[in-house]
Amino acid sequence: MFDFSVVTTWFNDLLTVSAGMPQWLATTIECVIVGALLLLGYTVLAMFYIMYERWVCAWFQCRRGPLRVGPWGSLQIFADVIKMLIKEVVDLWKTDNFLHKLAPYFVLIASVVVFACLPWGKGLQAIDFNIGVFFMTAVSSLGVVGILLAGWSSNSKYTLIGAMRSGAQMISYELSIGIAMLTIVCLAGTMSVTGLVEAQQNGWFIFTGHIPAIIAFIIYIIAATAETNRGPFDLPEAEHELTAGYHTEYSGIHFGFFYLAEYLNLFIVSGIASLLFLGGWMPLHVAGWDGFNAVMDYIPSTVWFLGKAILVSFIIIWFKWSFPRVRIDQMLALEWRYLMPIGLFNLVLMAIIVSMGWHFAG
Amino acid sequence: MCPEAQCDASGEFLLISVPDKQWHDLARMLKEELHFDYLTALVGVDWKEELGVMYYLTNTETQEMIHVKVATTDREQPRLHSVSDLWAVANYQEREVFDFYGIEFINHPDMRRFFLRNDWVGYPLRKDYDDDPAKNPLRLEDEENEDNTYRLVEDEQGNVTRIDGKVFGDEEYVVNVGPQHPSTHGVMRYRASIEGELVKKVDVVSGYIHRGIEKMCESLTYPQTLLYTERMDYMSAHINRHCLCLCIEKAMGLEVPHRAELIRMMMDELMRLSSHLLSYGCLTMDQGATTAFFYGFRERELIYDIFDKTCGARMSMSYLTIGGVKTDVHPDFIKDVRHACDVITKNLKEYHKLFTGNIIARNRMVGVGILGKDDAINYAITGPSGRASGHHCDVRKCHPYSLYNEVEFDEVMYETGDSMDRYMVRMKEMEESIKILRQCCDMLEQEGIEGEYIAKVPKLIKLPAGHWYQQVEGSRGAFGVYLESDGDPKPFQKPYRLHFQSPCFNLVGIVDLTCKDNLIADLITITASIDYVIPDIDR
C-alpha cells in the first residue's frame, strides 16, 4: 500500500536539505500549502456532497434530480455556487451587525478544523497528536456558538427559537457522541488518530469490538445525525415550523457558509464514524487471509476512507429522506432517557470486555 | 315558549321567524331540548327593509333540519343576540356577518372584523353599500396589528354596554406565523402566544386572499356563478360546483339524466381521492417526511390526467353545468379510472409502510390535538376531521344526494379525534372512494359508451322567489350553498343572495382550541391534520 509519508518527507527534504531553508520557514510553507489544499478539498467535497444528496434524494422521491446543466446536471452545482457568491449580503436593521456577520465564520471554522484532523490516507495526515479524537470533539463544539450567535444576533423570533433548539440539541447529543467515542478509545487504548487506524490493521473495531462496538456505532450514527442538525433531527431549521431556523435572516455568501458547513459536517461525522468503527483508511483485512488482504491493499487508502465516509453519509441521508421530524421534547427524551444511559452502560460493558480480553484480537 | 315566533312549513325545511329578543331563549330550547346541536349554516342576508341572519340547524340524532330567521329593521345600529355561547361555531360566523353586514352581536366575546381591513369603510354585502373607490382606495400602507377588540354586554334590564379589550396582553410573547409561511398552506396567518415552546393562544387573522365571491355572484347570472365555486376549495372543485348545480336545479325543479348524475358522482369521488392524496402529502411534508409528499403527488397525476382527457383541464375544470355535464366522458374514461383505482390501491400500502407505521410519525400524531365529539359538533366540524371525532356527518349518508343511495360504501368513523385519527380517516376514505368508483364504472359500462349527459335547460335561467339550501360532502366537510332569489322578472336574473358555507371556515375555528398547551411543532401537525384550504376560508 502506498504510503503518502514518502511524498511529504520528500517535500520536507526538498525544502530543508536541497533548498537549504531553516526548519521554521519550511514548516511555515508546508502549513500554508496544507491549508490551501485542505480548503480546496473542503470546497470540492462540499460541492460533491450537495450534488450527492440531491441525486440520492431524487432517487428516493421517484424524481430525476438535476439534469439540465451539464451531463446529468453535474454542472448545476457550479451555477449554484456562482449564484451564491454574487448574491447580495443584506444588512439588517436593528441587529448586532458585528455578531451577525461573525456567526457564520464560527460555524465554518469549527468544521474546517475538524476536517483537517481526519485520516485521509496512509501517511496523509495534516497533524497527528496523541489526543486526536478528543481535539475533534472539543473543536466541533465551537460550531454551536456560531449557531447561537446567528440566532440571537438576527433579532427575530424565529431565529431565536431555532438557535435555542439548536443549543439544547447539540449540547445534549454531544454527550452521546463523546460516550460512543470513549467506548472505542477504551477498546483501542489510544486517542491518536493514527494509533486508532493502526489498531484496526487486522479487523475494524466494529468487528473486533463486536456487541458493544455495534451498539456504540448505532448510538454514534443517531447522535451524529442530531449533531449535524439533519433530519429527522432538523428542528433548529425546521422549515415547516421556523421557515429556516437560525439562518432565516442570512443571505448571499453568509448563508452559503452555513450551507457549506452543514454539508461538510455531514462528511465529517461520517469520516469520524469510519475512523472509529470502520478502520479509517485501513482496507478490509481479515486476520489470516493473506491473499485477500493483499488484494484489498491494492485499493488506495484515500479511496477506502472516502468510500467509507460516503457510505456512512448515505445512511444519514437515507434517514433524512425517509423519516418525519421528531418533536423537541421527544428529541430530548431520546437523548437523556435512552441514548445516554445505554451509552454509559455500553461503555462499562466495553471496559469489562477489554479487561477480560473477550474481544477479538486486533 | 315564544309566542311571537312564526312557523312556515311550506319550504324545504321548517322556517321559524323569531324576533331578536326571544331568539336566544328559543336557540337554547332548540339546542338543549330538541337536540338541534349542529349549527349547519349561518347566513347574513339584507332583505332591504330588514337586516338579518338565517340559521340552519341540524339535529345530529335524527338528521332533521330546520332554519330560523332573525332580523332587525334598525339599519343604523343593527344588533342581534349572539348564539356563540350555544354553538361555538357561531363565533367566527358572526364575525363574518359583522364584517359584511355590520350587524353587531350582543354578548359575542370578540367583535372584530374577520376578513376585511379594520379601516374598511362600509359593509360590502349590504344592498345599499357604496362601492365608490374613493371611499376604499387601494391602501398602500401596512395594516397595523390590531389588538383592540370589544364586547357588547347586556345586563338584566336589557341595557347594552360596550367593553373594550385586548386580544393579547403586553406581557405575552407573540410569534407571527404567516401569512407567508411554508406550512400554513397558503396565505393564512396565525398569531401565536407562546411560552418557551408551548403555544398558549392562537389568534386567526384571515382575509389575505378574500375575493368577495359572494358579492361578485350577486352581479352574475346563474351559469356565471358556477365559475367561482371551483376557486374556493380548489381541491374539491367538482364537488363545490356540483353543490351549486344541485341547488339551482332544485330551485328550477329540473330533473337531471341518470348518466349525468353518475358522471358527476364519479368526478366528485375522483376529486376526493386527489384531495386526500394531496392532504396525505402535505401532512407528511409538514412533519418533515418530504419523500412521502412526492408519493402522494405521483398518484394524483393519474387523476389529473383523467380530468384532462374528459374536461380539458387539470385544475378548475368547469365541467359540471346546470342540468348535467358539459360533454360526455372520454372513451378511455372507464379504463383510466379502473387503472387509477388499481394503482392507488396498490400504493396505499406503500404509504402506510413509509409513514403510518413510522414510530416518529406515530409519536407526532397520536394523542396530539384531540377534538372530542361534543366539541366537533359544537364547532360544526364536518368531513374527515369531524368523523375522526365520531361526529356522524357524512352528507352522502345523512342527506343522500346524487346517486349515493345506489352505491355501497361505509362512512369511516374514528373515536379519539386526535391527529392520527384525522389522518387515518382520510386514508380509509380513499379506499371507500375507490369502492364507489369501481361500482360507478360498472354502472357506466352498462349504460353504454354514449348517452344523455345533459337535461334540456332553458337558455335563460329564472328562479321563482324563495330560498334554498343544498349541501354536499366536500373533501373537507359539508359544503353548503344558500341561494335566495327575489323572482326578478328581468331576462338575466341574478341571485339575490348566494352564500357558500365552506367547511374550512369552520375547521380554522378549532385551531385555538386544539393547539392550546401543545408545542409549536404540534401547531403545524394539527393544522396539517385538519387540512383546510385557504381560498375556501377566504371566499
CA B528 centroid distance within chain: 16
The answer to whether residues A105 and A208 belong to one domain is: yes
CATH number, domain with residue B161: 3.30.460.80
Which residues share a beta bridge with B481? B470, B500
Q: Is B284 on the interface with A (CB under 8 A)?
A: yes
The answer to whether residues B157 and B217 belong to one domain is: no
Asked if B515 and B371 touch (Cβ cutoff 8 Å), the reply is no
pTM for the model: 0.86
Domain count, chain A: 2
The answer to whether residues A54 and A120 belong to one domain is: no
- Dump pLDDT digits (tens) for A141-150: 888 888 888 8
Asked if B371 and B514 touch (Cβ cutoff 8 Å), the reply is yes
Phi-psi region of A280 (alpha: psi -120 to 50; beta: other; left: phi over 0): left
The answer to whether residues B153 and B235 belong to one domain is: no
Give the total residue count for chain A: 362
The answer to whether residues B235 and B157 belong to one domain is: no
* Gyration radius from chain B CA atoms: 23
The answer to whether residues B160 and B226 belong to one domain is: no
Q: Contact B354/A62, CB-based, under 8 Å?
A: no
Q: Which candidate, A41, A161, A172, A51, places its Cα nearest to that of A111?
A: A41
Q: What is the mean pLDDT of residues B287-305?
A: 87
Residue B36 per-residue DSSP state: -
| pLDDT score of A4 more than 80 | no
- Dump pLDDT digits (tens) for A217-243: 999 999 988 888 887 888 766 666 676
Buried b (16+ CB within 10 A) or exposed e, A72-106: ebeebbeebbeebeeeeeeeeeebeeeebbebbeb
Within 221-240 of A, beta carbons closer than 8 Å to B belong to 231-232, 234-235, 238-240
User: What residues make up the domain containing B361?
Assistant: 213-537
Q: What is the mean pLDDT of residues A70-95?
A: 83
The answer to whether residues A235 and A301 belong to one domain is: yes
Residues of B in contact with A323 (CB under 8 A): 288-289, 358, 360
How far is A329 from chain B, CA to nearest CA, in Å?
9
**For residue A301, is it within any domain?**
yes
User: What residues make up the domain containing A225?
Assistant: 87-356
**For residue B382, is it within any domain?**
yes
Q: Contact A327/B521, CB-based, under 8 Å?
A: yes
| pLDDT score of A321 more than 80 | yes
The answer to whether residues A47 and A105 belong to one domain is: no
The answer to whether residues A106 and A45 belong to one domain is: no
**For residue A76, is it within any domain?**
no
Reported as a pLDDT band with limits 50, 70 and 90, residue A290 is confident
| pLDDT score of B73 more than 70 | yes
**Which of B358, B519, B522 minimises the CB distance to A324?**
B358
Cell readout for B85 is 355561547
3-state class (DSSP) for residue B505: helix
CB contact set of B159 (below 8 Å; sequence gap of 6+): none
- Dump pLDDT digits (tens) for B258-275: 888 888 999 999 999 999
**Angle CA(B134)–CA(B135)–CA(B138) in degrees, nearest 5?**
70
Q: Is A88 on the interface with B (CB under 8 A)?
A: no
- Dump pLDDT digits (tens) for B82-94: 888 888 888 899 9
- For chain B, the straight-line distance linking the first and the last C-alpha, in angstroms and rounded, comes to 38
The answer to whether residues A52 and A126 belong to one domain is: no
CB contact set of B357 (below 8 Å; sequence gap of 6+): none
Angstrom distance (rounded) from CA B333 to CA B259: 14
The answer to whether residues B419 and B318 belong to one domain is: yes
Cell readout for B2 is 315564544
Asked if B420 and B355 touch (Cβ cutoff 8 Å), the reply is no
**For residue A80, is it within any domain?**
no
Q: Is A64 on the interface with B (CB under 8 A)?
A: no
The answer to whether residues A217 and A252 belong to one domain is: yes
Angstrom distance (rounded) from CA B494 to CA B514: 41
Angstrom distance (rounded) from CA B234 to CA B229: 8
Q: Is B173 on the interface with A (CB under 8 A)?
A: yes
The string of DSSP letters for A184-238 reads: HHHHHS---HHHHHHTTTTS-HHHHTHHHHHHHHHHHHHHHHHHTT-TTS-GGG-
- Dump pLDDT digits (tens) for A206-218: 878 788 889 999 9
Least confident of A256-260, B345-349, B384-388, B469-473: A256-260
Q: Contact B288/A325, CB-based, under 8 Å?
A: yes
- Distances from the Cα of A283 to the Cα of A201, A220, B19, angstroms: 8, 22, 90
Q: Is A317 on the interface with B (CB under 8 A)?
A: no
Q: Find which of B197, B302, B350, B423 to mutate to test the A interface (most A CBs within 10 Å of its CB).
A: B197
Cell readout for B219 is 352581479
Cell readout for B7 is 312557523
| pLDDT score of A362 more than 60 | no
pLDDT at B114: 86
The answer to whether residues A197 and A263 belong to one domain is: yes
In percent, how much of chain A has pLDDT > 70? Answer: 97
Q: What is the mean pLDDT of residues B354-360?
A: 86
In the chain, the amino acid numbered B121 is V
Report H helices in chain A.
Answer: 5-13, 23-60, 76-86, 97-116, 132-140, 142-153, 157-188, 193-198, 205-208, 210-227, 239-242, 252-276, 290-298, 301-320, 328-333, 340-356
Determine the angle formed by the axes of helices A157-188 and A210-227, rounding to 10 degrees.
160
**For residue A141, is it within any domain?**
yes
| pLDDT score of A100 more than 70 | yes
CATH number, domain with residue B361: 1.10.645.10
Asked if B352 and B497 touch (Cβ cutoff 8 Å), the reply is no
The answer to whether residues A175 and A246 belong to one domain is: yes
| pLDDT score of B253 more than 60 | yes
**For residue A79, is it within any domain?**
no
Q: Give the CB-side neighbour count of residue B491, counting CA atoms within 13 A.
A: 1
pLDDT at B1: 59
**For residue B178, is it within any domain?**
no
Q: Is A63 on the interface with B (CB under 8 A)?
A: yes
**For residue B192, is it within any domain?**
no
ipTM exceeding 0.90, yes/no: no
Phi-psi region of B38 (alpha: psi -120 to 50; beta: other; left: phi over 0): beta
Mean pLDDT value across chain A: 84
- Distances from the Cα of B5 to the Cα of A56, B20, B84, B467, B471, angstroms: 70, 10, 21, 19, 26
The answer to whether residues A53 and A134 belong to one domain is: no
Q: Report the greatest alpha carbon distance in chain A.
A: 68
Reported as a pLDDT band with limits 50, 70 and 90, residue B327 is confident
The answer to whether residues B218 and B161 belong to one domain is: no
**Which of A60, A157, A231 minimises the CB distance to B288?**
A231
How far is B174 from chain A, CA to nearest CA, in Å?
9
The answer to whether residues A324 and A249 belong to one domain is: yes
**For residue B181, is it within any domain?**
no
- Dump pLDDT digits (tens) for B431-453: 999 999 999 888 888 887 777 88
The answer to whether residues B43 and B161 belong to one domain is: yes
Q: Is B197 on the interface with A (CB under 8 A)?
A: yes
Q: Is A155 on the interface with B (CB under 8 A)?
A: no
pLDDT at B343: 92
Domain count, chain B: 2
Of B166, B192, B223, the residue at which a domain comes to its end is B166
Cell readout for A348 is 462499562
**For residue B26, is it within any domain?**
yes
Give the total residue count for chain B: 539
Angstrom distance (rounded) from CA B272 to CA B473: 9
| pLDDT score of A52 more than 60 | yes
